[in-house]
Structure 1
Amino acid sequence: MTSVIGELKQLLHIVREAKQEIYDMEIEISKSIILTVLISAGVLILGALFSAGFYGLFDMGHALQLMDISVTLFLSGALVYLYFQQQQVLESQTELKRSELSGELDVNDISYDDKSIEVKLSNLSGSEISDVRLRTEIFPKNIGEMNIIASRKRLQRSDENETQFARSAGLAPREQNVPFTAEPTVHYFDEEGHEKLANLSFFITVLRDMDIDKVKCRMWVEGKDQLDQTVKSKVFRWDKTIRVNTEKPLHALPDLEGIVHRSISASIEDSKSEY
């Protein structure tokens, strides 16, 4: 299912690029029509002035002066047109380059190993994507005297191309289904104001000590494209409600799959999230 979704996203990306090409073609056709009309109008004006002079409606000398002025105006208008045409071409080339270097990231699949998560990522763009990180956000952000913020954990590439391409935390253009691993972490300040960073499994035991029975979780992957823009993709299509088993012994550390995989969906307001 996840591979089909990824293929659909790639297809949508190709359709968007095709629509942009059609739009650019329409602009070029419009400019050609405008230039044709401008030349035709100039020819008609010159012809009318010459005819007026020939039939004596104007003095021939005056007619020639008017023709000279008209030619000058026409050439000036043509130069202005060519200038704006050149500017549009430059802007189109710049926009095309930006489009090529604008990243698009997709999470294809996820799996768990004790305290770690493995995500398979695809780069759907022509840009390199670097500094790929796992973001974890817990809600509510204030539990008692505890203040929680979204954490960042560097994702480590775990395929055979990691060393070959020197991309331990990045993706080449169009790379597909590349595995990355990391331990999801929770970044928080405890009741005494001390800053702490704990893996998600351990943080659940902290909540258990506080007799908290459930929290909500949003997790996503983000990186930087070649335009230094942040690109993102959710790990879970739907946010999770994590139930804390307060009946387990305090020293028992839950495994990540037990925490996340069996959780039910949750509703989190986007305005309250860093995603």
Structure 2
Amino acid sequence: MPELPEMETYKNLLQLKIAGYTINSVEVNREKSINSSIAEFKNELIGNKITRIHRRAKQLIFDLSSGKKLLLHLMLGGLMYIETDDDTITRTKQVILSFGSHRLVFMGLRLGYLHLLTSKEVEEEFANLGPEPLQPNFTPQVFQKLAEHKKGKLKTTLVDQQFIAGIGNRYSDEICFAAELLPTRAFDSLDNSQLQKLHSSIQTVLQEGISHGGYIDLPLFRGDQLTGGFEERCRVYNREGEPCVRCGSVIVKKEVSSRKTFFCANCQI
């Protein structure tokens, strides 16, 4: 499932590619991917302009000139691609938004969705989300306050969207590795210096993920050289049996709360 860096990468590229464009046609091939009838969805969108794209947690919000918003959650398997007449993608497309010379297509939305909502409804969707870890107000002091009385494992707590928004399976492992902490450690076993290192690792790893385009292997458009660049930079995730880049020991895979988890049992404590 795309996490904060992947959605931030999408946001930044889409802002450049489709913000300011008017939607002149809409195709919906899977009605369950939207939250209204196809006719109502088309009626609301055609002639509307996408004015801005922004992100909250693992979701994107497309602001429309009408005041409504499109809320996108790709969930597991969801992808996007910007087509042109001479560059189309041969995958099943659940929703297509056309802007004349190019089209934004949504694929793999079996669990994901593209919902048309009011501003208030979007706020309600986000009501239970935790803080954004890359915002300036997410300080070490704020993090330590959040961590008070947390007793769960690092892995399960980091991926809890009510605790911190945007971190998922892959980046939780990379963050624990950067902090030299086992993902199975209990949160309440960390001392202040370890909490500070964990806070720093959250920000460093997520920023690195963004700067290298996340791990999605499909480019967003022809010529996209950014998307997916972080895949080869993962230190532990999907590297079971390979040598640790820090100490040379073998990377281990284990299930933690039914989630596959990768770590170095030697240099993470």
Give the TM-score taking structure 1 as reference length. 0.23
Work out which of the two has the higher radius of gyration on C-alpha atoms and give 1 or 2.
1
> Comparing both structures, which one devotes a greater share of its residues to strand?
1
Give the TM-score taking structure 2 as reference length. 0.24
> Comparing both structures, which one devotes a greater share of its residues to helix?
1
